[in-house]
Structure 1
Amino acid sequence: MRESVVHPDRQSVLTAVLPGTAMIAVTFGLGRYGYGLLLPDMRAELGVSTGAAGVISSAAGVSYLVGNLAVVPLTSRRGSRVAVAAAALFAAVGMCLVAISRGTASLALGVIVAGTAAGLALPPYADIVAARIPAERRKHSWSIISSGTGWGVAIAGPVAIVAGSSWRIGWLLFAVLALAAGALATVRAGPATNAERTRRTGPPWFRRPTAGALVVSAVLIGAGSAAWWAFSVDALRAESVGTTAARIIYALTGAASLLGSFNAILVARLGLPGSYLTTAGGLGLAIIAFALLTGHPILAAIAAAAFGATYAAVVATQGLWSAQIFPEHPTAGVALFTTALTAGTLVGPTVSGLTIEHLGYRPTFLSAGALVLAALLVRPNQSTSRGTGDD
């Protein structure tokens, strides 16, 4: 039987969906993925090599991982509001540090601080959605919030185009947006709920026999997609695609990823396993298509749009998957799968940067796409797809 999709009401939008989407937009779309968008001009001015750029991206993954590991005890002891406020602060400070960087080391510091913000931002919204949004509205609300990355990338693209080589101005503008979104999200998050005050967590929350497939899936998808986020603009430039055109294509990815907001409809029609196989398979094929089409801007743009839509959808699907494994503590479930996703992104950019230096962009992106397709070997069980955390 197909599930019906109930859209969030006005109160749900004001309480969680709008501020949550804004926080994910600034911490992921601007703070984390804005790095790849502005990387060519930063490399040119600061003298950062391709290999060093990959190491910096991986270092940001480490800080993201630290944020993921810290957010579970933080929300358990202080509530979601404190975690959201911390995410906004880390994002703004990191962006400012990038804006004033004078070399590889100072650039790395800013990117690392901003990366921590993304690790802190997403998991608390699993608890906020579970506590403050009616059960029948949670799937669609979560899909919208987790697709906030698309709004950030869609905003970052035009900012980068207007800023041109003045990438420092772009990062300062990102910092202002992070503070504005953080203020809204902190106020709307509300005080800690009784459940948050009384919950106690420790290392055992990671040990769930049913979580193994989710962890493997997230690691593979994280490693494969990391190459695209870090080096897609560089790959286009290597094929003589103009700077503006390359950034437009990158921004198009963000716009297309907004389609992930409708992932709840796909889950309702196909079930969680069907939605996962469709979106993960589409993501791998999109990366392979991009590898083969970087010299053709229009076709590369289509592949980039497919990447954006399927990436947002598969991440939303994994979030719903995690909620079933950790129904009593949604933040822990999201933290687990995003930690695994980050484990993949730690290796992905560094290996991709070194592979590009030795083999070039096309073999690197083909390998990245194949890695994502390998994630099709695991999937959620049909028996765990009922309700998707909304029961």
Structure 2
Amino acid sequence: MKLLRLVLPGLTMIAVTYGLARFSFGLLLPDIKESLGMSEAVSGIISSLFYFAYCVMIVLSTVITTREGPRRMILLAGASAFLGLLVMAVTPNVWVLAVGVFLAGASTGLASPPYGAAISLWMSRAEQGKGNTWINSGTSFGIALSGAGAILLSPYWRVTYGIYAVLALLALLWNFRVIPRAEKRWKVTFEKGNLSLKGIKGANSLITASLILGISTAAFWTFSRSFIEIAGDYRSWELSGFWVVIGIFGVLGGFSGSLIEKYGLAFAYKLGSLSIASASILISIAPEKWLVSFASAGLFGGAYIFLTGVLLVWGIRVFIKNASLGIGIPFLLLAVGQVIGSSLAGLFIGAWGYAPAFILYGFIGIAAVFIGPKKNKAED
């Protein structure tokens, strides 16, 4: 299968599930809270459903993809995103909103593992790194689009989610036409049924690195917008623009596959880890200055998508016979780390303030540099 035939619908699906179904919620939350009369406590509980649904569904998706192949999970991810966004658009109360949030969050967990398997099945080995990292960069396109939607349609969050639901349906139909059925035979084969981590060289390093990187990025994802809003005199469109910058620069993360090919996996991992750590430290220096805050947003967006692409390639190389497991494990541990990191960040910010907390998370990111892939033929 040609590179773009699989990458373009895959990139679109990831943009819809991650960017529109998951990350847009934080931008639209102020208007949703006002409309539905939600308290801070209820908002926090509902927001946590994204992480909970993601962690549950990425495990389910990894298992089913390993046993049956990728098509069913890819289509289920698109259907979950469509239904979740539609429910959120028409929700009459907080309880129905929670159902929509769970479905939207589930779509992200369902989507990630099967695309790794699809690329292993239907693309040549030489193009698999580029294919995986470009599909992964769909997150950044979705984040940029959600930021633009917040600027243009923020007071009308129901209309915004309605539009996103239509886009999710289109992505689902596109993937329905493109993704081959399981019975179709291809030259590239995929070993099904092996879910064991026992004896897998490099698995422990991958798991530890993913968990620590998840912790290190949590403060930025959860509190960076609040940080600059409190620290500076930003207008509403500038706060949304901060999010757009994260998405736009995240597109650069799609080049991680090419950089891995040229300089090696170990170099790319260290570059990404140092960059993600630098973003947290940079924003703590002068968050009231838009040039500094937007520069940190660009650095974080590019580094995050780049680094998730590196983890994706690293995972597939470690679990070379099971691409869905190679994606599922690092992405699951990344999400678990973000749950831990987000919870602790709130405590640290309450005790010390934003700047010291962000510096601490920057140093956690630096610590992750020392747990990366080794320079050897097996992994690099």
The two structures have a TM-score, normalised by structure 1, of 0.89
Residue in 2 aligned with 1:41?
A: 31
Q: Structure 1 residue 354: deviation in Å?
A: 4.6
Residue 324 of structure 1 aligns with an amino acid whose one-letter code is R
Measure how far apart 1:334 and its partner are.
0.4
Kindly report the root-mean-square deviation, in angstroms, between the aligned alpha carbons of the 2 structures. 2.3
AA matched with 2:89: A
Q: For residues 222-371 of structure 1, what are the structure 2 equivalents within 5 Å?
A: 222-239=214-231, 240-357=233-350, 359-371=352-364
Q: CA deviation at 1:289?
A: 1.1
| Alignment correspondent of 2:135 | 145
Cross-structure match for 2:72: 82
CA drift of 1:102 comes to: 5.0
Does the CA contact (< 8 Å) of 2:66 and 2:322 recur in 1?
no
Note if 1:13 corresponds to 2:13: no
TM-score by length of 2: 0.91
Is it true that 1:57 corresponds to 2:43 in the alignment?
A: no
Question: Deviations 1:42-88 (Å, cap 9, x if unpaired)?
Answer: 33444445555444333321210111111122223432111001101
Determine the structure 2 residue equivalent to 1:219: 211
2-side partners of 1:291 and 1:321: how far apart?
Answer: 31
Q: 1:190 is aligned with what amino acid?
A: P
Amino acid at match of 1:252: V
Distance 1:216 1:146, change over 3 A: same
| Alpha-carbon shift at residue 252 of structure 1 (Å) | 1.1
Where structure 1 has 5 or more consecutive residues not aligned to the other structure, the ranges are 1-9
Correspondences of 1:84-163 after superposition (within 5 Å): 84-102=74-92, 104-163=94-153
Q: CA deviation at 1:101?
A: 3.8
Q: Would the aligned equivalents of 2:117 and 2:190 in 1 still touch at CA under 8 Å?
A: no
Deviations 1:257-309 (A, max 9, x none): 00011112321332111110011110011122123332111221111001000
**Structure 2 portions without partners, runs of 5+:** none
CA offsets 1:137-183 (integer angstroms, 9 cap, x no match)? 12111111111101101111111111122122212211111111111
Aligned residue number for residue 171 of structure 2: 181
2:168 maps to a residue whose letter is A
SS of 1:68's equivalent in the other structure is: helix
**Contact 2:78–2:172, Cα closer than 8 Å, also in 1:** yes
Give the partner amino acid of 1:89.
A
CA distance in 1, matches of 2:289, 2:270: 28
Between 1:313-322 and 1:213-222, the stretch displaced more is 213-222
Distance (Å, rounded) in 2 between the aligned partners of 1:339 and 1:382: 25
Q: Tell me the secondary structure at the aligned position of residue 382 of structure 1.
A: coil
Letter in 2 for 1:174: Y
